[in-house]
Each structure stands twice: as C-alpha cells, then as structure tokens.
Amino acid sequence: MGESSHERDPVDNRQFSRYISDVARLFDIERTVRTYCLHLGEEHADELRELLVSVDRTLCRVLPPELSRRVDREGSTLERGPDGRLVVRRHPALQAALDELCRLGLFRVFAAEEHGGFALPLAIYYLAVQLVSYHDTSLALFFLVHGNAMYGIGRYGTPAQQARYLPRLAAGELIASVAFTEPTAGSDAGAIRTRARRDGDGWVLEGDKLWITNGGDADLLITTARTGPAERGIEGVSAFILEREADGVEVTGLEDKTGLAGSPTAALSYPGIRVPGDRLLGELDRGGRVMFAGVGMTRVNIGAQALGIAKRAFDAAAAFAGERRQGGCAIIEHDAVRQRLADMALTISAMEHLICRDSALEHRGEWHVREMSEAKYYCSEALQELTLRAINVHGGYGCSRDHVVERCRREAVALPLYGGTSEIQWYIIARELLERGKADYRARDDALCAELEAREARSDLARRVSAVKDQLWRLVERVAAMEDQAPFLRHLTELSTALACAQVLLWQASAPDADALERELAAVAVDRLEDRAAISVGRIGRGLDRRTLKALVRERLEG
Ligand SMILES: Cc1cc2nc3c(=O)[nH]c(=O)nc-3n(C[C@H](O)[C@H](O)[C@H](O)COP(=O)(O)OP(=O)(O)OC[C@H]3O[C@@H](n4cnc5c(N)ncnc54)[C@H](O)[C@@H]3O)c2cc1C
C-alpha cells in the first residue's frame, strides 16, 4: 500500500510451505468461521458455517468458473423495450444465481425478524458477500447496494415504510439500489443538482444520476435530491424512496466498465417525476445521514468484496505455482515465489480480521466510523498490490484472459473508488482521530493494547505494538496543533490502519489454538507497523520543516 509497499521481510518459508500443504484452499470456510468466532464469539457460528457452505455449493453448481467467465465477457446489456424506452438486462446467468441465493435466504440475513429477516450480525452478511465475491465479484456488488438500501430503510424508514418495503426486499421480491452520484457530485455529495420541489402533499424530482449499480433494473431506489438552498451543501439534501417503474425513472445509459461487467451500472434521469409525500426517507434536509449510514455499512462490505477477490487471486496463484515448473522444480519451490504468496497470505488474514473486528464493534453497538473506513481503505488498497503480485506469480500467463488473475486485477480497480475514494478515507480516518471520536478511540486503542500485552506477556510483540500506538497518538496531538493539517492526514491514516492490522493479527496469534504461521504473520505485521511509524514520524517531522521553510521564503520575499 503506497509507501508501505517497499521491500518486506519474508514470512518464514518453511512454515509457509507446511501451511500451504495443510489446506487445499488456503482460506477455507472453517478458517473464516474461526476468525468470526475470535471476534464475535461462538454464537451464530453454526448459522454462519451453514450459510457459507450452502452459498459455496450453490455457486459452484449454478455459476461455475467457466460460466462466470462468460458473464465477464458478455456483461449486462442495454436494450430498447417495445415502448422505445431503454431497458437494462442483467446477464441471465447472474439472475439465475441471484434467484438461488435468494432461496438460501441471503437477502434476509440482517433484516429484523418482524420483516422476515434472520436478525443475524452484519458480520455474517459480510462474510457471505466475500464468498459470493470469491465466485463472482459482480454478483457481490449486487449485495453491496441491495444491503445498503435495506440498511438505510431499516434505520431511517418510518414503520409504514419498513412494513411496505423491508419484507419484500428481504424476500428478494424487490431489488434495490442507491442513487446518489451525479455529474457534478461524486466525492462532494453536497454538490448535487437534482432538485425536489413540493407539489401539494408530494414531491417532484428533477435531475440526473450516474454510476448507479442495479439502477437500471432495481424496483426500488434510495436517492437524494436538494430540498434546501445550494449554499447549505449536504444539510439541504433529503433522501427519498423511489419506485422505479411506477414513478417513471428513466434509464439513459449503461457504463462500459473495466471489470465487473456483470454488474449493470446505469445512468438515470428523473424527468420531473412526482412521488407522494410519504416517500421522504428520514428527516427533511437530513438525507446526508441516511446516505452516510448506508455508506458506512457498505464500506465494510467493500472490504469483504475485496477479500473475496484476494482469496480467488491467491488460490489461483498458489495453484499455478504448484504446477508450473521452471529451473527444474515447481516454481513454488523458489523462495521469491513463496515470499510473494506469503505476503498475500498476510494481507488476506489482515483483511478478514479487520472485517470481523468491525462487525464485532457494530454488534456491540459501538461507534466505529474510523474502523469502517480503515477496513474499506486497507482492503481495497492492499488488493491492488495483491492482484498485481498474483499476476507476477503467473509470469506472462498472468496477462492472459485465460487466467482468472487477469480478471481479478480488472475487478480490483473499482474498489478504492466507490463507497468513498481512498483519498476521502484519508480525511475521514484522520478527522475521526483528530476531532470527532478522539477520546473514545484513544481509550479503545489503549484497552486493546493492554489486553494484547496481557495475552502476550511472554513475547515482546504486544509491547512493540503499544509503543507505536503511543507514537500514533503523539503524532495526532502534534498534527492537531498545526494550522495546516491537510498534508499530514494521509500519514495519520496510514499509521492508524497499519496499527489496526498489527492489532488484529496479534489478536489472532494470541488465541490459544493459534498456529505457527499465524504467529509469524503477526510478527511480520508488527515489523511493518514499525516501518510505517518511522515513515509517518519522518513525514510529519519533515512537513514541519517545510512549513518553516515556506514561512522563511515568504518573509524573504516580503522583506
Ligand atoms: C463500479 C462503480 C459502481 C458505482 N455504484 C454507485 C452506486 O450504486 N450509487 C452511487 O450513488 N454511486 C455509485 N458509484 C459512484 C461512486 O460512488 C463515485 O465514483 C465516487 O463517489 C467518486 O466520485 P467521482 O467518480 O465523481 O470522483 P470525484 O469525486 O470527481 O473524484 C476524482 C478524484 O478527486 C479526488 N477528490 C475529490 N474530492 C476530493 C477532496 N475533497 N479531497 C481530496 N481528493 C478529492 C478523488 O479522491 C478522486 O481521486 C459507483 C462507481 C463505480 C466505479
């Protein structure tokens, strides 16, 4: 990831070889369940296992790799219907897979029981999404937005809205989408131009939305429109529920994307559509809250989607390395290749634990904006390097469409973009540290490090993590005192995220049944954390010097 991707210490190769021969598919379902249990306890572990096993079996049957590859080539399509209007058609193979997953109850996982849901922890949804993503990332993207919309209605909908929509969304009778992005409003969600004006007891919406996943064939859209003056930015934006067909939402285009071809990404237009007053979702002018609540949950889900791609790329690279022979042996026998694979294993472990850690916080009802962004940021950025490395292991074959790693690389590209770009995550994480949850986060970091020290009393790893944690908080204080904080936010974010990775891997390594490789991965993560801390300390320190220099230059010029 960025500067932290410099040469790294290899994970011990002998242990890695043993590990890789232990399990055919390295990150198998039992390991996923174990990771879940480490963070969320045994409750619901059986439901998780059962769901993962049935999702896996179902997708192996209805969407085998060769069919998923065909979907990647053919994608979804845009056609003209009999009435001349544009219609989006999801690839039939993905539609069939969705129908099967619906039958398994995947749409119901976190919905409340009174809405026909199973009321299970979000972690179970995330881990199911990562498995779907392992099989087909476009299919996983469906669950990101459908889940986002369900979550938004579940949190902000009136009882009547919940009763009207949630049971049908949970049953898969309706599919949903979230339509926020506009030509002028991407990262700057408050810059939307779509307007909603009052019309009797209802609203009339006029404007355009772009890049809307599921947008062309969703039955239901959660959307945003300006209801207050433009100067109020996001504070003058409200959220609405649209019924696409009945309300007259028009499809105006379909994106031809890099990867994720099976997921239809539509451009939509609201040509003065009229909706009843009871479609306002949440409070008037407070649509930003609805949007950010769903986006927060989606960020962790994007982490889960990244995890699925990462495991697929890893499995392909490990299998290839076992078969391909060069220099008189399988290439997996070469240290350099094993180092690549070991690096990937570490990244994947950190991803999985970050997602489960987040879900555990969510489950306990603890505020966790920083952690949600860290999961999204780490998983989507680390995936970029991981998919490139999986291609490296394949040599020239990695560039061929005949090998799945080529596709993994294309799919990876979009993940740091949607759900808030990585640059926006720099701001969010650093702002959380500097201002919003400062005391709470500090207390949480202190408590976690103290617990790790207690568990790891006989090793120095936890003490080293604690030392960097103290360093992070000293840097936070230092940046907080600066007038111009912007250049340093990224460094706080990188350090905070590396700290989280080391903490979760050490948490895993200190479990009673941890294996040698898990301890090795934690040790490498701690080494990297210290490297990262050195970079952050250097940058923030040097940044100060630059500021002094700038002031001196200005003085000289003015003088
Ligand atoms: C495959 C895919 C699916 C999507 N699905 C949906 C969907 O279902 N619903 C939906 O509403 N949207 C969706 N989007 C849109 C997505 O959320 C936006 O692309 C994203 O928010 C970024 O907005 P933008 O593309 O306009 O980029 P911009 O905001 O224009 O950003 C361009 C660059 O400038 C940087 N930047 C912008 N502002 C700042 C700032 N203040 N500080 C620092 N850097 C900044 C960004 O980080 C980025 O590097 C999807 C996008 C993709 C690619």
pLDDT digits (tens, 9 = 90+) for 331-348: 998 989 988 998 999 999
How much is the pLDDT for 24? 44
- Quick one: pLDDT band at residue 2, thresholds 50, 70, 90? very low
Average pLDDT over residues 33-59: 96
- Where are the domains positioned within the chain? 2-171+289-412, 176-288, 422-558
Average pLDDT over residues 305-312: 96
Ligand 1 atom showing the smallest separation from residue 421 Cα: 47
Question: Where is pLDDT greater, at 482 or 24?
Answer: 482
Is residue 5 over pLDDT 80? no
- CATH number 2.40.110.10 is the correct assignment for the domain at 176-288: yes
Distance between CA 49 and CA 532 in Å, rounded? 36
Out of 3-17, 266-280, 313-327, pick the least confident. 3-17
Ligand 1 atom 40: residue of nearest CA: 424
Whether 223 and 240 have beta carbons less than 8 Å apart is answered as: yes
Evaluate: CB of 418 within 6 angstroms of ligand 1. Answer: yes
Ligand 1 atom showing the smallest separation from residue 179 Cα: 11
CA of 457 to the centre of ligand 1 (A): 45
Question: Where is pLDDT greater, at 234 or 437?
Answer: 234
Distance between CA 348 and CA 339 in Å, rounded? 14
Average pLDDT over residues 191-196: 97
CA of 398 to the centre of ligand 1 (A): 29
Is residue 4 over pLDDT 80? no
pLDDT digits (tens, 9 = 90+) for 447-476: 999 999 999 998 899 999 999 999 999 999
Is residue 154 over pLDDT 70? yes
Distance between CA 108 and CA 404 in Å, rounded? 31
Q: Model's pTM, two decimal places?
A: 0.93
Ligand 1 atom showing the smallest separation from residue 420 Cα: 21
Q: Does this chain's domain 2-171+289-412 share its CATH topology with 176-288?
A: no
Distance between CA 74 and CA 441 in Å, rounded? 47
Class of domain 2-171+289-412: mainly alpha
Distance between CA 337 and CA 328 in Å, rounded? 15
CA of 417 to the centre of ligand 1 (A): 6
Ligand 1 atom showing the smallest separation from residue 426 Cα: 43
DSSP 393-454: HHGGGGGSTTSHHHHHHHHHTTTTTTTS-HHHHHHHHHHIIIIITHHHHHHHHHHHHHHHHH
Whether 239 and 208 have beta carbons less than 8 Å apart is answered as: no
pLDDT digits (tens, 9 = 90+) for 526-549: 999 999 999 999 988 877 666 677
pLDDT digits (tens, 9 = 90+) for 390-410: 999 999 999 999 999 999 999
How much is the pLDDT for 458? 86
